[in-house]
Structure 1
């Protein structure tokens, strides 16, 4: 543990709280996630951070899943609720973007996406906003649920790939294998990839979520199978 005496830098270790509270537990857990990554967050590690026994911690938090739920709950509760546009389509895009903003704040994203047990009440207003906007666009409630699922899967996939790439690259001390593999290709067999080899990292690391989101939504509006208001037929 690094020193926190005057004139030094480093994280201050939290001493044994006079009265352990859920707020103190969440603050300590968030500190561990921010400084060491969510992979380091365990009940034993958290108890050590708070200078208490794991048994004392279990009186306040049941398990790691509940701890993650509390972290997500805190982030979602503190997320500003921006005013929604009046235009239904713009409102749907804005609501879908809110889902991205909430999930982007969670380094333990993979566990949230893989578990039905990590959703929190404070996040439900985001889902409600997506459903309401979809209904305002003329989708049925059933179609709105399908639209939400598509948005959630696309958004979660985008963020999970980005997070995984960033974590992987942060620990590399040499060019990644993909860069070396592209550099070794021959134009006779892979002309397109050879032409893109020098530009591939920049092209594949761009944040294209918004453009992809709009394309996804446009696909739903253009689907011939959806019900709802249709454009008036042209006069004969």
Structure 2
């Protein structure tokens, strides 16, 4: 009789069920089928168990996703950051983006503080340290981190959502349809950019925007000399 999960299904139950085996199965679904197919029910089927048995090991999908982040973060090499505090702040902000960009399956919990604690706590420390060395108080550094965090999460959410939406479209976007009907007299700026809007908004301006944000956050602050350990 053929195993219900296909040719590989019968071999999966040889090892005892554990969080490690659950993470391996979840990563297999992500790699083979994509993040939209990962659910607790689909994972239970992959493991040839009932959803209730799965919940004995993983509380919910939120905990599952955090386990996946921890698994993929384990052993990651930390790059050497610049000595100059302003450049280090920018580099840490870029690292925050790069770390989160590794996990497109985390769209639904990107706003969770647990995600940062698990995946990028060392990046958070580097960013705060650099901000303080740039002349901010620790409280101001926390606010700077929050501003950079919100910008980064927004960029990633918009990017992943837009890519998925465009991949599924079989018609011009709603924006393109609306732009085509606008009067140049009523909307001179918008109509002058309408044809170029997709190309302009598709540009990767992450670094430039980060520089603008950091410049605004720091203003004329002078770095504290000799504080970097």
CA distance in 2, matches of 1:97, 1:46: 33
Counterpart check, 1:104 vs 2:101: yes
Aligned residue pairs, count:
220
1:216 Cα shift? 0.1
Equivalent residue, structure 2, for 1:84:
81
Counterpart check, 1:68 vs 2:47: no
Counterpart check, 1:46 vs 2:47: no
Which consecutive residues of structure 2, in runs of 5 or more, have no partner in the other structure? 225-229
Q: Which aligned pairs between 1:46-195 and structure 2 lie closer than 5 A?
A: 46-195=43-192
Q: Deviations over 1:149-207 (max 9, x none)?
A: 00000111111111110111111111111111112222222222222121111111111
Counterpart check, 1:32 vs 2:52: no
Which consecutive residues of structure 1, in runs of 5 or more, have no partner in the other structure? 6-11, 230-236
TM-score (norm. length: structure 2): 0.85
Equivalent residue, structure 2, for 1:232:
none
190-199 vs 61-70, which moves further: 190-199
Counterpart check, 1:217 vs 2:214: yes
Q: Deviations over 1:51-90 (max 9, x none)?
A: 2222332232222111011112123334431101111111
TM-score (norm. length: structure 1): 0.83
Structure richer in helix, relative to its length:
2
| Matched-pair contact (CA < 8 Å) for 1:140–1:228 | no
Higher relative contact order (CA 8 A, sep 6+): 2
Counterpart check, 1:198 vs 2:195: yes
The CA RMSD measured in Å over matched residues stands at 2.5
